[in-house]
Structure 1
């Protein structure tokens, strides 16, 4: 894993440099050009950004160590996540209903935790049909914080659920599968677990368990 991490960091750095240079020149060309050409340049910029996102996911998967670990207030974290995803939810015609108690705390890196949850909830949003709903709840169960995300979207069959988190498996046309791989890795590094259950035409449920934090002090 150490070798993979070092290789991932090296590849990400070497590939990002030409991507950034290319993106800069495309932006310059986009200033003084025809509307038809702008359309093509816009598509090229979108694909460059997608390539950059894939590199970021690859790097996070290979090196998911959580720097800047802190005590996270779950209700606050979830409020930020909902704010980020609200435009996409509205676009899909759905809604997010959440019930997060105010006394739940976990240990982790805020940015990485948000990334993991956004990956999951975004998949739920994209699976909604018309005015669908995503329900997010949390509770303390023994020594764990249990986060439950349910949607009434398209759902998946057992074979598809079994493949979630595998390299390069995705239900999306342009998907790489790295998003859920990253999510699994982040939750794993947080000493947690994640479980998917789904039924076609009914929806999907995701249950995440992460150790509950009581002590104000966190030893990193």
Structure 2
């Protein structure tokens, strides 16, 4: 039973290595192709097979599982000649004898065969590929039992035959089955990603079309009215004003989409949070007064980050504007900064709040909590800008109690910030 245990142990190492290679490949696929990862797996598998060999005392025959990764690589990857060359080279290091020439004959011949039929093999169904792999491994093992004289071994010939004719084909089938499952998983993930992208493009296209068509339809209607000679000069001026506003609305939709797809943060500069947020609050004071909203500012002096000033203002104008509009009956909007290892900006309102589903969908293409009144572009732009400035967004909300946006950025130390601002002022002067 010693040889059987040895083969099962070797086979378990190959399976564990395959699964580990797949998990590592998922993390490294940005840098390495699946082809390169598979080639590395096969080479390491062959090395393991050469390390964990078994030799019966008194008989110059070495047993291992090298044919399993060779057959898998030759059929699935089409690199049989490369693997055969590696096997022959390693076998040659052990000595040029009868076993070496049999290795050249078997592996060289099968390498050429696998190389020729690899494309045909990959066109078969998964079940056909698994069965074909098992049958080829069995026939290869069966042929070796004659040339190596296994039939006439005095020592545990039944165990050797079991290891050669049963364990190796079963091992090849198991590894082939795992590979088919991995291939199916990768294909399923790619189809899912593709379908989601198509769905997002369709939804975005429909939303853009809808949001642009509305103001254009209104503008076309008033242009037709302008063509009438019966309108007064006062109405003529009023219609022109409406047309300009509608066209600006369509332009704003397009600009918001462009800001989402490309935030255009060309250069980063030091920003004092208190100074920048005070400007945003001042800008939104008229809107807050109209909605009976009181803005409370709690700033930690000296806190700073690196970013684009214009995009920073655009980001927080969108967030605070949404917060104010969520309080039509009035309320309190709190703008606060806090610092730990990073710098956080908290925007708290006492508005209507959001459900869990609404929070999870924030930032999706053209999803708005305002229903037909909103496009969702504003919050999309917010997420895009925050990502571009290396920040994160965390949202907490409760129906009837309000919403808190927590935007976190890498901290820029106050002394470093003052130094950079001084250098900038000197250059400008």
CA apart distance, 1:156: 1.2
Corresponding residue for residue 39 of structure 2: none
260, 278, 282: which one pairs with 1:79?
Answer: 278
Corresponding residue for residue 10 of structure 1: none
CA apart distance, 1:76: 0.5
Q: What is the CA–CA distance in structure 1 between the aligned matches of 2:329 and 2:407, rounded to whole Å? A: 26
Instruction: Say whether residues 1:192 and 2:192 are aligned partners.
Output: no
SS of match in other structure, 1:75: helix
Corresponding residue pairs, total: 192
Corresponding residue for residue 153 of structure 1: 351
Q: What is the CA–CA distance in structure 2 between the aligned matches of 1:39 and 1:91, rounded to whole Å? A: 25
CA apart distance, 1:37: 4.3
After TM superposition, the structure 1 stretch with the greater mean CA deviation from structure 2, 183-192 or 32-41, is 32-41
Instruction: Say whether residues 1:43 and 2:242 are aligned partners.
Output: yes
Instruction: Say whether residues 1:202 and 2:401 are aligned partners.
Output: yes
Alignment of 1:1-220 (within 5 A): 33-142=232-341, 144-172=342-370, 173-214=372-413, 215=416, 216-217=419-420
Task: State the TM-score, normalizing by the size of structure 2.
Answer: 0.42
CA apart distance, 1:217: 4.4
| CA displacement 1:58-83 (0-9 Å, x = unmatched) | 11111113123210000000111011
For structure 2, which runs of at least 5 residues remain unmatched after alignment? Answer: 1-211, 422-429
CA apart distance, 1:168: 0.8
SS of match in other structure, 1:125: helix
| CA displacement 1:25-67 (0-9 Å, x = unmatched) | x8xx8xx954444444333222211111111111111111312
More strand by share: 1
Q: What is the CA–CA distance in structure 1 between the aligned matches of 2:288 and 2:375, rounded to whole Å? A: 22
More helix by share: 2
CA apart distance, 1:171: 2.2
Q: What is the CA–CA distance in structure 2 between the aligned matches of 1:105 and 1:94, rounded to whole Å? A: 27
Cα–Cα, structure 1 residues 95 and 33, in superposed 2: closer, same or farther, change >3 Å? farther
- Contact 1:100 1:137 (C-alpha < 8 Å) held by counterparts: yes
CA apart distance, 1:150: 0.6
- Contact 1:129 1:154 (C-alpha < 8 Å) held by counterparts: no
SS of match in other structure, 1:136: strand
Corresponding residue for residue 11 of structure 1: none
SS of match in other structure, 1:206: strand
For structure 1, which runs of at least 5 residues remain unmatched after alignment? Answer: 1-14
- Contact 1:150 1:203 (C-alpha < 8 Å) held by counterparts: yes
Please give the root-mean-square deviation of Cα atoms over the aligned residues, in Å.
2.4
Task: State the TM-score, normalizing by the size of structure 1.
Answer: 0.80
Cα–Cα, structure 1 residues 171 and 47, in superposed 2: closer, same or farther, change >3 Å? farther
- Contact 1:98 1:135 (C-alpha < 8 Å) held by counterparts: yes
Cα–Cα, structure 1 residues 186 and 34, in superposed 2: closer, same or farther, change >3 Å? same
- Contact 1:149 1:207 (C-alpha < 8 Å) held by counterparts: yes
